[in-house]
């Protein structure tokens, strides 16, 4: 018998139409390059989105074409997300922090036909323009008055393009598996790899994001996405807004700055925000030194890297904000797990409570997880056994863009995340390391993340990295690299003494090197590969392990 339900495709277009009809007056506030306090409604945003769709048409963009963006979180980038995807093209968000050779590689690899960029990124494009093989137009996201002088050929102004178009546009009926957006991973070795999302995966991911134990936002909330729109669709927040009717505040170029964040949270009455750990450390530092507060803020989500415990404890104790760790990756759109407590965890307090809160959280419906040993045997969910973390689900990639088909997943259809993890009885996953970063000392594995978290808890330490260095007896032993907070002084003895009683004695680093800065990837992760290269011949002192 034929099924008897409507076959409605899951399209991003429906988010736009839903918001326009149900939340026409809900606001989008944006800090853009030419206006630090731009505000309009969903209705106005999607009216401009239709003008933009006409402009894309005039630029010759058609179904399946790739359109690049190099932009911060603001209202014009928001319009691009919807206009490009809903007209059947692919919105390729490019990370402006990549090295020039990586930018050239990904823009050419994605075959971007046009690129929209913030004025401050024009020099980056000028620098690489003669190596771009497919890009025909560059459009600056500003008004005619603010257009920069530039040597870019075919340079156009965004506002002028829009002004030439009407707001009548019939969105095409697309298949739900039409690609809508793409993002390249910031791999620390080799070329970045492209992940191509489609409308269906994006809508399913958005439903999941909106659930109560995930972002849990409603039409009464106001969100501040501090995760960049150039990295994994700002964790899906740009789609959750129109689905649920939340007010969205887009913080622009200074989004990592504590003062800017506090100001936006206070003036716009932000209730929920999401970002990487560094952002919350910056906000905390500003709050502590200015004496200001964030009274409307209820919840923060932190992901992308391990969360320092001070973010959780200080945010709660001093500012009454709940911090939830989340885990995911570019290949997963990115949502995988969120740390939301379940009944049966109410009794936790003190160290036990903090330990539970620091875990990456439990799998969201839609993502299956397992951990395996080197022979692909599934390991128990006992919170002790750790192994390679693998995932499956409708918003997990099946292959990288232009990779040889069938080469990305394991034979049994699981995607190996490259993370090493434990999963406890309650289903809470904790990342212990990246597969490549784990330190193999004798037969034992030492988690570099645990050692880094302990170092970062030291009041004088700003940031730290732990890498494995060759050792004749143990194969590898941990070396700790420390960047101290400004004006602080310390010694190897002081830092190593800090570890006593906090981690197993045999896993305490053998040595400490004080550095001025640590190298970061374009998405803010520490470049361990570079550090391993730099310290590959490092001679560790004789230590009793």
Q: CB-wise, 94 or 141, nearer to ligand AMP? A: 94
Binding ligand AMP (rule: CB under 6 A), the pick from 28, 55, 214, 431 is 431
| Per CB under 6 A, 523 contacts ligand AMP | yes
Pairwise CA distance, residues 421 & 435, whole Å:
9
Pairwise CA distance, residues 335 & 237, whole Å:
11
Pairwise CA distance, residues 297 & 324, whole Å:
13
Contacts of residue 267, defined as CB under 8 A and 6 or more positions apart, other chains included, come to none
* Interface stretch with ligand AMP, choices 67-75, 200-208, 261-269, 415-423 (CB under 6 A): 415-423
Cα atoms found within 13 Å of the Cα of residue 422, Cβ hemisphere only: 16
| Per CB under 6 A, 272 contacts ligand AMP | no
| Per CB under 6 A, 417 contacts ligand AMP | yes
| Per CB under 6 A, 306 contacts ligand AMP | yes
Q: CB-wise, 244 or 388, nearer to ligand AMP? A: 388
| Per CB under 6 A, 419 contacts ligand AMP | yes
Pairwise CA distance, residues 166 & 310, whole Å:
51
| Per CB under 6 A, 329 contacts ligand AMP | yes
In the complex, what is the shortest distance from the CB of residue 358 to ligand AMP, in angstroms, rounded to a whole number?
9
- CB-CB contact of 135 with 113 (8 Å): yes
| Per CB under 6 A, 305 contacts ligand AMP | yes
Report the site for ligand AMP in 340-399 (rule: CB under 6 A): 360
In the complex, what is the shortest distance from the CB of residue 237 to ligand AMP, in angstroms, rounded to a whole number?
14
Dig out the tokens for 452 from the structure. Answer: 């880094």
Q: What are the beta bridge partners of residue 68?
A: 92, 115
Give the CA angle between residues 49, 332, 182 to the nearest 5°.
40
Dig out the tokens for 475 from the structure. Answer: 């194969």
| Per CB under 6 A, 280 contacts ligand AMP | no
- In the block, tokens 């949502």 appear at 335
Residue 381 is among the residues annotated as catalytic for this protein: no
In the complex, what is the shortest distance from the CB of residue 456 to ligand AMP, in angstroms, rounded to a whole number?
13
| Per CB under 6 A, 204 contacts ligand AMP | no
In the complex, what is the shortest distance from the CB of residue 431 to ligand AMP, in angstroms, rounded to a whole number?
4
Neighbour count for residue 338 (Cβ, 10 Å): 24
Pairwise CA distance, residues 4 & 463, whole Å:
58
| Per CB under 6 A, 281 contacts ligand AMP | no
- CB-CB contact of 506 with 441 (8 Å): yes
Q: CB-wise, 206 or 262, nearer to ligand AMP? A: 206
Residue 440 is among the residues annotated as catalytic for this protein: yes
Q: Strand 428-434 relative to strand 415-423: parallel, antiparallel, unpaired?
A: antiparallel
| Per CB under 6 A, 94 contacts ligand AMP | no
Q: CB-wise, 56 or 182, nearer to ligand AMP? A: 182
Catalytic residue (one of 44, 310, 445, 460): 445
Pairwise CA distance, residues 154 & 139, whole Å:
8
Contacts of residue 488, defined as CB under 8 A and 6 or more positions apart, other chains included, come to 460
- Phi (first) and psi of residue 262, to 5 degrees: -60, -40
| Cα diameter, the chain | 76
Task: Give 481-503 as a DSSP string.
Answer: EEEEPTT----HHHHHHHHTTTS
Q: What is the DSSP letter of 191?
A: S
Residues in the chain: 545
Binding ligand AMP (rule: CB under 6 A), the pick from 330, 333, 422, 432 is 330
| Per CB under 6 A, 434 contacts ligand AMP | yes
- Determine the angle formed by the axes of helices 258-268 and 277-290, rounding to 10 degrees: 80
Residue 331 is among the residues annotated as catalytic for this protein: yes
Catalytic residue (one of 185, 206, 260, 337): 185
**Site mask, ligand AMP, residues 139-178, x = CB under 6 A?**
----------------------------------------
| Per CB under 6 A, 115 contacts ligand AMP | no
| Per CB under 6 A, 526 contacts ligand AMP | no
* Interface stretch with ligand AMP, choices 25-33, 169-177, 417-425, 482-490 (CB under 6 A): 417-425
Smallest Cα–Cα separation from 192: which of 135, 109, 125? 109
In the complex, what is the shortest distance from the CB of residue 51 to ligand AMP, in angstroms, rounded to a whole number?
33
Q: Strand 222-225 relative to strand 247-250: parallel, antiparallel, unpaired?
A: parallel
Whether the upstream peptide bond of residue 286 has omega within 30° of 0, thus cis, is no
| Per CB under 6 A, 325 contacts ligand AMP | yes
Q: CB-wise, 455 or 484, nearer to ligand AMP? A: 455
Residue 444 is among the residues annotated as catalytic for this protein: no
Catalytic residue (one of 27, 159, 268, 331): 331
* Interface stretch with ligand AMP, choices 40-48, 157-165, 397-405, 413-421 (CB under 6 A): 413-421
In the complex, what is the shortest distance from the CB of residue 220 to ligand AMP, in angstroms, rounded to a whole number?
27
- Residues contributing to the site for ligand AMP (CB under 6 A): 185-186, 232, 303-306, 325, 327, 329-330, 334, 360, 417-419, 431, 434, 523
Instruction: Cite the active site residues.
Output: 185, 331, 440, 445
């Amino acid at each position: 018998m034929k099924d008897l339900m409507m076959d409605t495709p899951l399209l991003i277009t429906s988010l736009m139409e839903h918001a326009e009809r149900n939340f026409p007056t809900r606001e989008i506030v944006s800090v853009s390059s030419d206006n630090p306090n731009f505000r309009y409604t969903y209705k106005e945003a999607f009216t401009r989105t239709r003008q933009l769709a006409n402009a894309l048409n005039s630029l010759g963009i058609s179904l399946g074409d790739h359109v690049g963006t190099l932009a911060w979180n603001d209202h014009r980038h928001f319009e691009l997300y919807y206009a490009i995807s809903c007209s059947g093209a692919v919105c390729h968000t490019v990370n402006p922090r990549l090295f020039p050779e990586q930018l050239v590689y990904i823009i050419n690899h994605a075959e971007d036909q046009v690129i929209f960029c913030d004025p401050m990124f024009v020099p980056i494009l000028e620098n690489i323009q003669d190596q771009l093989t497919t890009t025909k137009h560059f459009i600056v996201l500003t008004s005619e008055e603010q257009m920069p002088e530039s040597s870019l050929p075919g340079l156009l102004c965004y506002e002028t393009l829009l002004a030439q178009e009407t707001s009548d546009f019939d969105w095409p009926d697309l298949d739900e598996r039409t690609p809508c957006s793409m993002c390249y991973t910031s791999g620390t070795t080799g070329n970045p790899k492209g992940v191509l999302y489609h409308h269906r995966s994006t809508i399913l991911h958005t439903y999941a994001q909106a659930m109560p134990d995930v972002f849990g936002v409603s039409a009464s909330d106001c969100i501040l996405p501090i995760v960049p729109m150039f990295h994994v669709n700002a964790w899906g927040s740009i789609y959750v807004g129109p689905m649920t009717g939340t007010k969205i505040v887009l913080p622009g170029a200074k989004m990592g700055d504590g003062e800017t964040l506090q100001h936006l949270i206070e003036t716009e009455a932000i209730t929920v925000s999401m970002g990487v750990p560094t952002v919350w450390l910056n906000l905390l530092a500003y709050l502590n030194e200015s004496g200001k507060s964030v009274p409307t803020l209820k919840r923060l989500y932190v992901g992308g890297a391990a969360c320092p415990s001070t973010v959780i404890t200080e945010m709660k104790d001093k500012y009454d904000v709940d911090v939830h760790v989340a885990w995911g990756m570019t290949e997963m759109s990115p949502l995988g797990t969120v740390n939301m407590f379940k009944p049966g965890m109410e009794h936790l307090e003190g160290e036990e409570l903090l330990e539970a809160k620091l875990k990456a959280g439990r799998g969201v419906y839609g993502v299956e997880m397992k951990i395996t040993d080197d022979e692909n045997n599934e390991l128990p969910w006992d919170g002790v056994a750790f192994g390679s973390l693998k995932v499956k689900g409708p918003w997990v990639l099946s292959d990288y863009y232009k990779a040889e088909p069938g080469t990305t997943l394991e034979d049994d259809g699981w995607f190996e995340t490259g993370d090493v993890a434990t999963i406890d009885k309650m289903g809470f996953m904790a990342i212990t390391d990246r597969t490549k970063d784990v330190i193999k000392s004798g037969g034992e594995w030492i988690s570099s993340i645990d050692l880094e978290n302990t170092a970062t808890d030291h009041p004088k330490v700003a940031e730290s990295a732990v890498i494995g260095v060759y050792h004749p007896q143990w194969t590898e032993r941990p070396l700790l690299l420390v960047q101290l907070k400004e004006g602080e002084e310390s010694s190897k003895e002081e830092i190593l003494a800090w570890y006593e009683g906090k981690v197993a004695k045999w896993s305490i680093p053998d040595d400490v090197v004080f550095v001025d800065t640590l190298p970061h990837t374009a998405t803010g992760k520490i470049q361990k590969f570079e550090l391993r290269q730099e310290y590959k011949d490092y001679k560790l002192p004789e230590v009793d392990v």
